Chain A
Amino acid sequence: MSSALKNTILFAVVFAMIPVIAQFQGWNAALFVLNMGLISAIMALGVNLQWGFAGLFNVGIMGFVALGGLAAVLVGMPVTPGAWTAGGYGIVASLFLGALTIGGAILVAGRMAKGWLRTLVVLGILIAGFMIYRGLFDPSVEAVEAIDPALTGYLGGLGLPVIIAWPVGGLLAAGAAWLIGKTALGLRSDYLAIATLGIAEIIIAILKNEDWLSRGVKNVVGVPRPVPYEIDLQNNAAFVDRAAGIGVDAVIASTIYVKLLYCGLFAFVLVLLLWLAQMALNSPWGRMMRAIRDNEVAAEAMGKDVTARHLQVFILGSAICGIAGAMLTTLDGQLTPGTYQPLRFTFLIWVMVIVGGSGNNLGAVLGGMVIYLMWDQGESIGLAVMEWITASMPDGSAVKAHLIESAAHMRLLTIGVLLLLVLRFSPRGLIPEK
C-alpha cells in the first residue's frame, strides 16, 4: 500500500468519526469536536516544527497558548471607559521604567570594571528603579481595578475585530519564546525543557493575578466573535425562512451555522499553516534544520549557526501555538486562566505530535485530530468503563464511590501510558517522517 493511500485512509477514518459522533450526540457536539480538533492540529503543527524539524523539547506550550488567549482579550474586548486615563498610562509608563531599569543595570554591568563598586552601582540602580516602578505601578493598578470591579476592573482591549488577535497572539508568544530561547538554547537540551516549564507556569500566574490586565480569576467573558451570534440569526427572518426551507429548526440551524463558519475559518488557517510548513520542510532551510537535528556537530562544521537556527525555529513554533491559543479563546468567547492545565495544553499536544508522527506535518495534523477526539470522548468512555467495572459492587460502598469519582483522573494515566507505549513500540508514529 502506498503511503499516500494509507494517509488518505487514515484521514478518512478520522473524518468519518465526525458523523458517527453526530449520530450519537448530535451535529452540534460533533462540529464542536471538529473545531477543537482543527485548533489542536494547529498546535501540533507548531510543536512539530520545534520537535520534528529541530529536536527542541518545549514543555511550555500551555504558556504560549495562554498568551494567545490574552491577545484575543487585548485586541478584541472593548476599551474600559476611563481606565486608561485613571491608571492605564501610569501602568504602561511604570512597566517601561521597569524595563529601562533592567536595561540600565545590564548596560552598567557590561561597561564598568569588575569589583565591589560595580555590584554596588548595579544594586543601587535596581533598587531605586524598583522603588520608582512600584510607586507608579501600585496606585495606577488600584485605580484601574476600582472601575466597576464586578464587570470590568481592567484596561479592556483595543476594540478591534478579534481576527486581528490571531496574528497578535502569535507575536506575543514569539516574544516570550525569544526571551526563553535566547537564554536556554545553545546549552544542554534539558535546560530548554526546564526553562519552558517555568515560563508557562509564570504566564499562567500572571494571567491569574494581574487583574488590571486579564481580570485574573474573575475571567473575561463575552470576547467578541468573528461570526454572527445565534440569537441574531434566529431573529433574522431570512435565515429562519431558509432553515425552514431545508426543514431544520431555526435554533439548531443557527448553532450549526455558526460552528460551520468557525470551522471554515479554522480550516483556512490550518491549511495555510500546513502549506507553509510543508514548503519550509522541503526547502533548503528545512533540509538544514533536519541536518542540524540529526547531527549538530556535523552541521556546525559545515558552517551552520546551530543556536541561531534553533532560536528561529523555536520562535516560529511557539508563534503558531500562540495563534492557536488566540483561536481557542475566540471560539470559547472567554478567557479563563484557571482552565489552563499542563496536562491539557502541554502534554496532550506532545502526545498528538508523537502519535501522529514527529517530523511529518501531515502526521501532526492527523495526531491533533485523533488525540483530541479520544480526549473528548474519553471522558464519557472512562466513566462508562468505570461504571461497568463497579456494576457488580453493592451500591453505596466506599470503594465503588471512590472508583467512580476518580475516573476523571484516569485520563492522566491513560494518556501517560499511551505516550510511553507509542514512544517505545512505534516511535515514528502513524505517518512517519519520509
Chain B
Amino acid sequence: MKVVLDHLTKKFPNRNKKIKEDVIAVNDFTFEIPDGKLVGLLGPSGCGKSTTLNLISGLEKPTSGKVYFGETDVTELPPENRGVGLVFQNYALYPHLTVRQNIIFPLENLKGDQKLTKQEMNDRALEAARMVQIHELMDRKPNELSGGQQQRVAIARALVKMPGILLLDEPLSNLDARLRLQTREELRRIQTSTGITTVFVTHDQEEAMSISDMIVVMKDGVIHQIGKPQQVYDDPVNLFVAKFLGTPPINVFAARVEKEKLYIGEEAVLDVHGVADGPVTAGIRPEGFLLSKDGEFTCEPSSLEVMGRDTSIVSTHSACEAPAIRSIVIAGEEEVKLLDEIFDGVRPAPESKGKLKFHLRPGKVHLFDVSTGDRIRFS
C-alpha cells in the first residue's frame, strides 16, 4: 500500500510556557512512499522524524494536512483501524508474557468477522516467528532474549496482523555494532520477502543509505531532500544534506570563484563554468581527491590510515572548516611510490612539506552559497 503525506504539519505547544509560539515538529510535509518500498526517514535527533512516524501510525493527530493509505484518507482514523504494524525503539515487548503470547497479543484483539480460533492464532504466530527466525524461542520471556532477538520478536508482533504498512522507530539503535550490521540485512530480507511498505526512522546515515530504496533527509521539521540514497549522496541540494551523508564526511572549505575558476587558498583548483565571482563554500567528498605529483591542490600531510582496501590520507589546510581533511585514495603503483615519498610509515616524512598534491574530480566537488547553504551548480 502506498502512503501519501499531503501538506502534513504538526505543532506542539512550547515546553517553556513563557513562549507562546508553538514548536513546529513537522512542517508542511508532502511526499509519497511508493507501494512495497523501504523508506528511511533520516535526520539529526529532534528533527521531527519520530513525529512523522507517529503521524503515519495515528498515535499523533496532525495539526493540518492529510495522510492517505492507498487512496483512502486515514487522517481521522485511530491507530487500531489503520492496519499498521509499529516497532518501537525499545521494542515495547510485554515483559510478563512469553514470546508466543507477545506475538499473539494483537490477534486476540481482533473482533467480529476477523476473530480467529486459538489454532489459527497459534499458526499465524508461528508463521510470523519463522519469518524472523525466532520460532525456537517461543516459550521464553523477553528478558531471556538478546537485544537482536527481542527486536525480531517486536517485528514478528508487528507483522502478525499482516499490516499494510510496517513502521520502525530507530530499529537498530539499541543493538551493538556487529548485531546492527546483521539486523540491517535481516530487515532488508524481511521487507523484500513480505513486500510490505516499510518506513523506518534513523539518525544513522549509513544505516539509511545501506538498506533504503528511498531516503528522506530532514532537519528541524523540514524535508531537505528525497531520493534514492546514491542519488542524494551524489547530488545533494544543500550543504546540510551534503554534510549529513557519507563517512568519512564531506570536506568543507571556504573558497572563492574568480573568472570561472575555483580558488581554495591561493590555488586555482578547478574550472567551474557558469558560477558568478565571489566567495563560495566548497565541499569535496573524500573520494574526490586524486593523488598526483602535479596536482593543483596542495595540503599539509599529517597522517596516513591504511584500512586494507583503500588508504585514507589525513591532511590539513588553512581554508578547511574542520581540523583535518580526510581523503580516500585507491593506492595504485604510482600512488604508493608517491605516498612513500611523503610519508614515513604513517607519519609525514621530514621533507614532505608541499609535496602532497591532489587533482580534484569535478563530480565530487559541490559548491554552496555561503549564507544560505544552497547548492550552486556548475558545469
A and B physically associate: no
Give me the interface of B with A, judged by CB distance under 8 Å. Answer: none
